[in-house]
Amino acid sequence: MSAPERIHLEKIDECRYRIPRSGKMRVDGIIYADANLIRNIHEDESPRQVANVAHLPGILGHSLAMPDIHWGYGFPIGGVAAFDWEEGVVSPGGVGYDINCGTRVIRTNLMTGDLRPKIRELVQALFQNIPSGVGSKGTLRLSAPELRRVLREGSTWAVENGYGTPEDLERTEDGGRLEGADPSAISERALERGRPQLGTLGSGNHFLEVGYVEEIYDPEVARIFGLVKDQVTVFIHSGSRGLGYQVCDDFLKKMGERVRHLDLDLPDRQLACDYVQSQTAQDYLAAMAAAANYAWTNRQMLMHWTREVFEKVLQMSPKDLGMHLIYDVCHNIAKRETHIVEGKRKEVCVHRKGATRAFGMGHSALPEIYRNVGQPVLIPGDMGRYSYILVGTQGAMEQTFGSTCHGAGRLQSRTQAKRSSRGRPLHRELEDRGIYVMAASRGTLAEEAPEAYKDVSEVVEVVHRAGISRKVAKLRPWGVIKG
């Protein structure tokens, strides 16, 4: 059987390529990329997934993809699509299995010189005190009623139980609590998987990274974010663990059944969906919101324990350490938002899968401290190079439903990365570059080798030049723990 014909791409400008509407596509596809990135993007056939998403009912604007795009389940990872709230659909594949996988960055009062004598000890202590790895279980033992509170209340539950401060909630997307969460929409299997895993990092590309500010691009915005050169930072990347995975799996099956009864001609069965106003879709959104709240609680607890480890290892008070949350963003979510579409305000269901919200200045959803500059956008790279902090822009509001990239994006599959890293002393290679890494398994380290990812600086440069977010600071990794 011959391979399907490659998707035709038209260059719009130095940062964007169009997939022209054809066949049963309802809108064009737009991929944000430069000439170098688009070559790799074309190789993994993810543009076909961008075109497939354009077939879905009620899609508005364009089927969008960020420069870190790669092949995913149904939707590409790096995909953004907005659907009419009244007439469009919601698709679990447009959110992904790790619901509200996301990142947060903490700034500190420490400079690199303050931490240099203690960096190894700190990384070891973080590894010992932050549960990580496949199937990892936390120290918390939640009753069923308490877990339901977590699912309804999100980070609010964590702060009320001593895992953080009210300021943390102000600096978390949606205050760390998505409205409409309903634990009763979640299966017993999902609840069972989630109960022992709260407060754990997980495996794969999830990490906790101690780094420092290497470069400032926008001094004024950096000042408002509380960032200065050589300042120590902490990056946390985790999600909803087994609970979120199970919610996605459960509803893909339910919607797969629904598609058979609806008059939907889908180009890929992985795009299983239902109309937003249907009971199945409303149940999914309620379960997804609960899983999102679990993920925010998870990251909040990981941050709390990170603060405690810093205090113990460095023998410093919370006040002297000054470990303040800059922001927390999710990058696997579907949300009801209001956007301007063809000159009119419209209620939409925005799917961001491997894409970050990037609201511009003045948006009412932003905390007051950031409203005059825009939303902090947190972009992790790989463990051997760098990460970025950007700021949301009006350009994102106009072009991408307030969205931008979420990271470097994979170049190699996990299997390919393992194969190419076989026999290499990755620990030593990274240590020779001044980066101390501890991982739950050698396999994870190989899967997450720096060359398995695109260069995040190329990805960031595209979104910066396209005007859908703007560079503020570059962070360099120093100590990393991986699941």
70 part of the active site:
no
Exactly one of 62, 206, 339, 406 is catalytic; which is it? 406
Residue 102: which of 387, 325, 295 has the closest Cα?
A: 295
Q: Please write the tens of the pLDDT for every residue from 405-434.
A: 999 887 777 778 777 777 677 878 888 888
User: How many domains does the chain fold into?
Assistant: 1
Residue 102: which of 379, 369, 349 has the closest Cα?
A: 379
Q: How far is CA 425 from the centre of its chain?
A: 29
In angstroms, the CA 339 to CA 342 distance is: 10
111 Cβ contact partners less than 8 Å away, ≥ 6 residues apart:
212, 230, 231, 232
The reported pLDDT for the residue numbered 4 is 62
Q: What is the mean pLDDT of each run of 10 residues along the chain (483 residues)?
A: 74 98 98 96 93 98 98 98 98 98 99 97 96 72 94 98 98 98 98 95 90 99 99 98 98 95 92 98 99 98 97 98 99 98 97 99 98 98 92 99 93 75 77 86 77 90 99 97 86
| Residue 380 counted as domain residue | yes
| Residue 3 counted as domain residue | no
| Residue 361 counted as domain residue | yes
**CB-based contacts of 419-428 (< 8 A; 24+ apart in sequence):** 420/449, 420/451, 420/452, 421/445, 421/446, 421/449, 422/446, 424/449
Query: Is residue 195 packed enough to be buried (19+ CB in 10 Å), middle (13-18) or exposed (0-12)?
Result: buried
Domain that holds residue 306: 10-90+98-482
The CA-based angle 303-329-345, given to 5 degrees, is: 155
| Residue 404 counted as domain residue | yes
In angstroms, the CA 26 to CA 28 distance is: 7
| Residue 192 counted as domain residue | yes
- CATH code (residue 76): 3.90.1860.10
| Residue 286 counted as domain residue | yes
Percent of the chain predicted with pLDDT > 90 = 83
Q: How far is CA 161 from the centre of its chain?
A: 26
How long is the chain?
A: 483
Buried b (16+ CB within 10 A) or exposed e, 364-387: eebbeebeebbbbbbbbbbbbbbb
| Residue 2 counted as domain residue | no
| Residue 207 counted as domain residue | yes
Residue 420's CB is within 10 A of a number of other CB atoms, namely 13
The CA-based angle 477-327-373, given to 5 degrees, is: 110
pTM (two decimals): 0.96
Q: Please write the tens of the pLDDT for every residue from 441-470.
A: 777 777 877 777 889 999 999 999 999 999
